[in-house]
Structure 1
Amino acid sequence: MVKQRVRGGARSVTAAGPTSWGGGRALAVVAVVVAGVVALHRVVPNRPGRIGSLLESFLPWAGLLVVVLLGLALWRRSAVALVAVLLPVGAWVHLFGGLLLPAEAAGGRELVVVQHNVSDENRDPAATARALSDVGADLVALEELVDPQLAVYEKALASDYPHHVVRGTVGLWSKYPLSGARLVDIKPPSIEEGWSRGVRAVVRSPYGDVAAYVAHLPSVRVGAGGLASQRRDESAALLGRAIADESVETVILLGDLNGAVEDRGLRPLTSRLNVAERGFALSFPAALPVARIDQVMARSAVVGHIRTLPATGSDHLPVVARVVLPGHR
C-alpha cells in the first residue's frame, strides 16, 4: 500500500485497482451501445455486406460480452457502469432468456422430430442412421443425400420408418403414412438446373394431418466483403411463399436453413412460423458449434424444445425437437 500526504492526513491507494464506486463512464457507454445493438438489431442496416444479417447470426454470443462488461464493472467498482450493464442484461434476457429454461414435461399430442444434414462426405452413413433411429423420433429429415449413401440410409431406417420420400438431396422418413409427396422448388434463378433441395409430404399422424417440409437452403460465406447470402435469402423467400400457399393448416419445417432464426434473411419463414421456445441447440460446425443453422419451425403448432444429439460422421450435429400439435399445450 502506498500512502500519499494530503491536507488533513494521509489517504491510501491500492495497487490492485480503484477503491471508489465512481467513474466507469466509458464502460457505461459501451454497455448502453451493446444494449442498443441487441435490442434494436433489426435497425442495423444490411448494406454493405449484409452486416445486419451477420450480426444477427451470432447475436446470442452478445451474452459473453455482457458477462465481460459485468466483470469489468465489478473490478472497476463503478456503480454507474453496473447500473448501465443492467441494460444489455435485460435486452439479452428478453431475446434469449426463455431458451435457457428446462424442457416442459412431455404431453400427448406431440411429434418428436429429428433434423440432420448428414453430409455428402459422411464415411459411415450406417452408423449415422443407427444413431438417428435410436432416438425413436416420429419423423426424421435428412439433407445431403447422395449416392451411394442414400441406399444405406434407406436400408438402415426401413424397419423403424416404413414410410419415406426423397426428392433430390433431401428426404423425410416417417413412422406414419405419407401422402401428397412433391418437390418444392426453392432454386434461386442463378443456380443451374438439377439443383433440388426441397420436398413436401402430408404426414397422417394420429393427431391429424401435418404438412411436413424438408429443405436445404444455399450456403452462405463470410469474407472480407461481409456475408454472402443472396442465394440463401432468395431460396428462403421461395420456401416462404410455398408454405404460405399450403392448404394443410398444421405445418412443420425441418431443414438446414444455413441461418440462425434471428437472421433477417430468414424472415420469409420466421414471420410465418413458430420457432423453438427452449434450447439453443448450436449445431454447426460439429467440432465447435457456434450457431444453430439446423432448424425446426411450425405453423399452428409449437416447437417446445430443441436440443442437439452427439456428433455423427457429419460436420453438423443432429437436432431433435418436440412439436406440440393443436389441442394440447
Structure 2
Amino acid sequence: GAALLTFLESTPTTLTARAALARAADRLAGETATAPRLNALRIAYEHLALPLQRESATVVLRTGPAEASDGDELLAIVATTYAQARRLLGSVGEMPIPGEEHLPLQVLIFPGQAAYRDYMRAFTSFTVDVDGIYDVQQNTLYSYRRRDGQTANTLAETLRHEVAHAVTAAYLFPGQWHTPGYHAEPKGWFDEGFAEVLAAQTKPDAPLQPHPRHLATICAQPLKPALADLVALRTGYDQYGTFDYPAAWALMHFLLAERPAVAAALISAWRNQTYHLSNWPTLGGWSDWTSAESDWHRAIERWCRL
C-alpha cells in the first residue's frame, strides 16, 4: 500500500505484466468476454488505491488515500459541473440523446500520477500522458491527485473539463467515437472549447468566468486565431497532434457569454445532426467568415484591454 502511494516513476511496473498474464490466461481459458482473472486483478488494485467512496444521485466517486478528507468536495465539483454543462446547452441539455446517458457517472481519482498511470496502462487502452480521461464506453472519468504546479491543470480543472465531455457525449453529439460518420464534421473546437469553458468555472451560479491561462496566451500572441482554421481543426482531436485549446476556449467563451443565440443555434445543429462546417457563418447569422471572425476578434481585443 505505501509503495502504491509514494512510487514516483511513470514507466510500466509489474502490474502491467501481471495484467498481460491475466489477459492471456483468460484467453486460453476461453473467457475473454468475462475476463475473470483480469477483473479480479483490477478490483484488487482499485480496492487498494481507491478506498474512499462518495455518492450522489448522478455520481459515484472513488478516491484515495484512505486519510483523504475532501471526498465530498470532489463529489460536489463533479455533480455541479454536470448540472452546469447541461444548463449551458439550453434546451438541448434538458433531454439526453436516447440511450446515451448512463447514470451514475463513475469517477476514479487515484492518489497520485504513478498509481493512475499504472492503472491506465494495465487496464485500459488510453494514453497515460494526460491529466484525465472520460471513457464513454465505461461511463467512467479517470484522473489523479497532483501537487501544486505538477501539471498545468489542477485536479478540479481536470474534473470539470472531463465532466463536460461526459455531458456532450450524452446530450450533444449523437453516436460514439468510432461510429461511422461521427467525425464527418470537425467537432474539436466545440467539444474541447466547451470543456475548457467549464474547466474555468469555480462559481457555477455566476456569469461565465474567463480562463486566465488561455486568456493570457491569446493576448500574448501576435496574431489572433483564424476562425475558419480553428473550426476545421482536427489535429489533436480525432487526428494525431496538439490541439489549440486556448483558441477553442476563446471561441466558445465568446459564443456562450456574448452570443448566446448563436451558441444555441450551433448546439441545436449538432444535436439534430444538421451542422455543416461550410454553413458555420450563416448558422450564426453572419454574412461570411470575415464578418464572423471580425466580431470574435473585437471581443478578444476588448478582453485583452481589461
Taking structure 1 as the reference length, what is the TM-score of the superposition?
A: 0.22
Bigger Rg, structure 1 or 2: 1
More strand by share: 1
Provide the TM-score with structure 2 as the length reference: 0.23
